[in-house]
Amino acid sequence: MRRKLAAGNWKMNGDKVALAELDTLANTPEATEIDILVCPPATLIDAAVTRLGTAPVAVGAQDCHAETTGAYTGDLSAAMLADVGATAVILGHSERRALHHETSEAIREKARAAQAQGLMAIICLGESEFQREATNTLDIIGAQLSLSVPDGSTGLNLVVAYEPVWAIGTGRVPHPDQIGEVHDFIRARLERRFGAGVGRSVRLLYGGSVKPANAADIFAVSNVDGALVGGASLTAGDFRPIISALAQA
C-alpha cells in the first residue's frame, strides 16, 4: 500500500513568524495515517526542522543543484539540504522550468544528486494550456517523465507530481477524468519502465489550485496518492482540511 502524502510548497513566501503555522500542523491527528511534508524557502529549513522536533511533519526544500560542491554562487546542493534536516526536495516545478529554463535532462541530474544524498525527489510534470488544447497532453507528460526521472528510482526516493501549468494559482482545476487520465498514464509508464512492483510503489501527487473545497473530489480520482499544495499550504487553517480530506479518501 502506498502511504498518502500531503506536501506543501511555500514557494517564495514566509518568514520566521510564519513558522508558527507549523505548531498547528505538528498536532494534526491525521499525521499518524498519512505523510505530511512542508517545503518552506531555504532560509527557513533549519528553523522549521528545529521547531518541529519529533513531530510527525517532515521538512523539504524547493530545489537543489546537481553538483555536491563548487563555484555555483547562490545555489544549494542536496548535501547541504540534507545537512540541515531536509528529507525531500521539489524538482522541475513548472515555474523553474519556465522562469529558469530548466530542461528535463537537468532535472534528472538534480534528482539523481538528491537521491544520492538520501532525499526524496518530488519531480513535477505538467502541460501548458496551449499543449492541453492541442490535445497532446500525454505526449508532453510522457516525454517529461522519461527524461526527468533517473534510473534506479524507487517508491522510497521518488514521488511524481502532476501539475497542469494552467491550473497553478489560477483557481482552475481539471475535470477529475482529466486528472485520472494523466495519473493512470504515469502509473502505466512507471510500471513499464521499472517493473510492476516499483512502478506501483511510487506515489503520484496532483497539484494545481488544490483547496479545501475541491480536495475530496481530487483524492477520489484513480492513482492520486496525495497533493502538492501551493498557496493553501501557507496557513494551517487551509492546509489541515486538505490533509483531513486525504486521510479520509
Q: How far is CA 117 from CA 67, 120, 184, in A?
A: 11, 9, 30
Q: Return the CATH number of 5-248, one of 3.30.230.10, 3.20.20.70, 2.30.30.230, 3.40.50.1390.
A: 3.20.20.70
Measuring CA to CA, which residue among 132, 49, 119, 59 is closest to residue 91? 119
Residue 144 C-alpha cell reads as: 517529461
- For 168, phi then psi, to 5°, come to -75, 115
Q: Give catalytic residues, as residue numbers.
A: 93, 163
pTM above 0.85, yes or no: yes
Per-residue pLDDT of the chain (249 residues; tens, 9 = 90+): 899 999 999 999 999 999 999 999 999 999 999 999 999 999 999 999 999 999 999 999 999 999 999 999 999 999 999 999 999 999 999 999 999 999 999 999 999 999 999 999 999 999 877 777 777 889 999 999 999 999 999 999 999 999 998 877 777 888 999 999 999 999 999 999 999 999 999 999 999 889 999 999 999 999 999 999 999 999 999 999 999 999 999
Q: Provide the H-helix boundaries in the chain.
A: 21-26, 45-52, 78-83, 94-99, 104-116, 129-133, 137-148, 176-194, 196-201, 215-219, 236-248
For the chain, the domains span 5-248
Please tell me the predicted confidence (pLDDT) of residue 232.
Answer: 96
